Chains A and B, each alone.
Chain A
Amino acid sequence: MSKIIDAKGLTKIFQSSAKVVDGVSFAVEEGEIFSLLGPNGAGKTTTIRMLTTLTSITGGEASIGGRDVTKEPGVVRELIGVVPQEITLDNELRGTENLLLAAKLHHVPTSLAHKRAGELLRLAELGESGNNRVSTYSGGMKRRLQLVTALVHNPKVLFLDEPTVGLDVQTRTRIWDYIRQLNREQGLTILMTTHYLEEADQLSDIVAIMDHGTIKVSGSPTDLKESLHGDVLVLSVNDGGEDLTSFLKSVPNVTEVTRTEDSYRLKLPKVESALPAIIANIASRNLQITGTSFSKPTLDQVFLEVTGRSMRDAQDGGGNGRTDSYATARRSETK
């Protein structure tokens, strides 16, 4: 695999405003799904807009497919598909017409454009609705059409800005399926922004957590969560007064044991690997396990670890009054 997106020290300062993006560096390998995860105001949308040539870069540099975003914006636009956060389809045109217009503007030959439009409508399960005006589509149908409209020219990289914001759970799951399918079957590199922890966790090969314009940490969701040193296992044992703390501490990879009145709380990298040995040992002591529960670490806990606050708190008002929606990022540019 080779680097298809390369950002080095990306910085954006809007007029009379603080640094919205502050020296962000990351690389995305070909075929990866890379997510920028963070609350509103983190700088995700501005980062994506700099990479897609829509917002000028104040400092640093970026390339897509080896082509400099600032020096060769026209070439970069040929390589990318962009799906903004808002629905930006033409409601008065039919689904097919939206696709064909996008194809024309990407210089796809007409005969190929018709073939491609048909394929993409089927991919988005809109084959039956292609001849209907977009104004008659449901929110989910529009989102699916918007997604495939960005693929009409077979881009190398797809940029998705909050691809499922405002959608119900069922529609969101379907959109995730399409994203996975595009990545798996077409080898498409995807860079997306999201403030949904579950979305980043479920879809991404690599997650970069952003806050206040900087990347705090990045890695695979599994690695990020494992970096917290693990799962939490709570064992309720009828120990008859026998303290099992020393034994539990001796179990390989257990990093922390806390005894409470009627249970033990263990921290370890993977509960699954240690649990059978623990249960067998306790059973050999003729003690009774009365309950077990365990929790996996979440990206929210990772966010908490690196920013000192949870994503939910950050969403609720920790963004210093700034918002990072697509519309706001656009408005900032016009000040």
Chain B
Amino acid sequence: MITESLALGKRSLTKWTRNPFAVIVTSLQALFWLALFGNSFNPANAFPSTAAGSLGPLQQAFGGASTYITFLTPGVISIVALTGMSFMGVDLVFDRINGYLDVLRAFPIPRTSIYFGGVIQNVAKGMVAAPITFLIALLVPNGLKLAQGFGALNLLGIFATIALLTTVFSTFFTGIAISVKSTDSFFAAVNFLTFPIMFTSTAFFPLSFFPAWLKPVAQANPISLASDAMRLLVVNGTFSPAEVSAFIEDWVGLLIFGLAFALLGIAMARNALRAR
């Protein structure tokens, strides 16, 4: 199954790299989030007396991040993963509409390899956007301020986390993409799901900003888990045992989501691709 999944993943990636427009647009999405949202909605704007971009008295509430964009960057990386993974599945919808999916069903391959081919190519695409987002965050005015002692391990941890989050969303949205019959249904489902996921997360603001009734949802949201894990790596050069424990908890949460969505996606794919 791995060979077939990789072959199908490679097919989509080959096409993707031949269309640089899609690569550029996906990657630059982060620029708008960081430069526009990061400055317009910057809570530091409420404290004009503080140094440019500094969160001032809010620094503690924002997990110790010295600037809002430092807090926001892990959130934006996660949001780009969410929006990227949700819409990239459209390839499979078009494959169904133009009959290609049907042709694949006539090959002697496990039907789940069609699903995993979609997951793999989406994750690979998503992983291109992550370092670009990180670079943009460093370059925008009042941008990302890395902690003293930030090193290769922190960077590796950030990309490992984003790979895991991308996989979580890819397993979920690829399952939807393989199940729907039309682009209308697909975009309706994606729009319906992405906004609640985005706005019930700690991508933009810390957990303490949420009303009590929404806190459990925000805490368990995969974007929150990934954002918080990455924030620990960005804001801290070194870690206390409590911070290591928090990081592991976030990862365990993401792994559970990934496994659950993969199982759900496999079931959806099998149902969608079986002979009727």
> Interface of A with B (CB < 8 Å)?
52-56, 73-75, 77-78, 80, 82, 84, 86, 88, 90, 92-93, 97, 101-102, 104-107, 326-327, 330, 333-334
Check A84 against B4 for contact (C-beta < 8 Å): no
Q: How many A-B residue pairs have CB under 8 A?
A: 71
Closest residue to B107 on the A side, CB-wise?
A105
Contacts A53-B275, A78-B108, A334-B181 given; indicate if A88 touches B100 (C-beta within 8 A): yes
Listed stretches B7-15, B217-225, B250-258; interface member: B7-15
Check B108 against A107 for contact (C-beta < 8 Å): yes
Having A55-B276, A90-B100, A105-B104, one finds 5 other A-B pairs with CB under 8 Å, namely A56-B276, A82-B106, A88-B99, A92-B19, A106-B107
- Expressed in whole angstroms, the Cα–Cα distance for A167 and B14 within the complex equals 30
Q: What are 24 A-B interface contacts by the 8 Å CB criterion?
A: A53-B105, A55-B275, A56-B275, A56-B276, A80-B106, A84-B99, A84-B102, A84-B103, A86-B98, A88-B102, A92-B18, A93-B11, A93-B15, A97-B11, A97-B14, A101-B7, A102-B107, A104-B3, A104-B4, A105-B4, A105-B107, A105-B108, A326-B99, A330-B99
Q: Does B109 contact A (CB under 8 A)?
A: yes
Contacts A74-B108, A77-B107 given; indicate if A104 touches B102 (C-beta within 8 A): no
Check B106 against A54 for contact (C-beta < 8 Å): yes
Check B11 against A334 for contact (C-beta < 8 Å): no
Chain B residues closer than 8 Å to A93, beta-carbon distance: 11, 14-15
| Minimum CB–CB distance for A278 against chain B, Å | 55
Check B105 against A86 for contact (C-beta < 8 Å): no
| Minimum CB–CB distance for B230 against chain A, Å | 34
| Minimum CB–CB distance for A12 against chain B, Å | 10
- Expressed in whole angstroms, the Cα–Cα distance for A210 and B14 within the complex equals 43
- Expressed in whole angstroms, the Cα–Cα distance for A54 and B274 within the complex equals 8
Chain B residues closer than 8 Å to A78, beta-carbon distance: 108
Which of A74, A327, A334 has a CB less than 8 Å from the CB of B276? A334
Nearest 5 Cβ contacts at the A-B interface? A77-B108, A333-B276, A92-B15, A104-B7, A82-B106
- Expressed in whole angstroms, the Cα–Cα distance for A78 and B107 within the complex equals 7
Residues of chain B from 1 to 50 with CB closer than 8 A to chain A in the complex: 3-4, 7-8, 11, 14-15, 18-19
| Minimum CB–CB distance for B109 against chain A, Å | 5
Chain A residues closer than 8 Å to B104, beta-carbon distance: 105
Chain A residues closer than 8 Å to B103, beta-carbon distance: 82, 84, 88
Contacts A86-B99, A88-B98, A330-B102 given; indicate if A101 touches B108 (C-beta within 8 A): no
| Minimum CB–CB distance for B19 against chain A, Å | 8
| Minimum CB–CB distance for A93 against chain B, Å | 7
- Expressed in whole angstroms, the Cα–Cα distance for A36 and B152 within the complex equals 66
Closest residue to B7 on the A side, CB-wise?
A104
| Minimum CB–CB distance for B232 against chain A, Å | 41
Check B102 against A54 for contact (C-beta < 8 Å): yes
| Minimum CB–CB distance for B48 against chain A, Å | 51
Closest residue to A149 on the B side, CB-wise?
B103
- Expressed in whole angstroms, the Cα–Cα distance for A199 and B71 within the complex equals 69
Contacts A88-B99, A97-B14, A105-B7 given; indicate if A54 touches B108 (C-beta within 8 A): no
Chain A residues closer than 8 Å to B108, beta-carbon distance: 74-75, 77-78, 105-107
| Minimum CB–CB distance for A70 against chain B, Å | 9
Chain B residues closer than 8 Å to A326, beta-carbon distance: 99
Chain A residues closer than 8 Å to B19, beta-carbon distance: 92
- Expressed in whole angstroms, the Cα–Cα distance for A326 and B14 within the complex equals 28
- Expressed in whole angstroms, the Cα–Cα distance for A54 and B275 within the complex equals 5
Closest residue to A103 on the B side, CB-wise?
B7
Closest residue to B275 on the A side, CB-wise?
A56
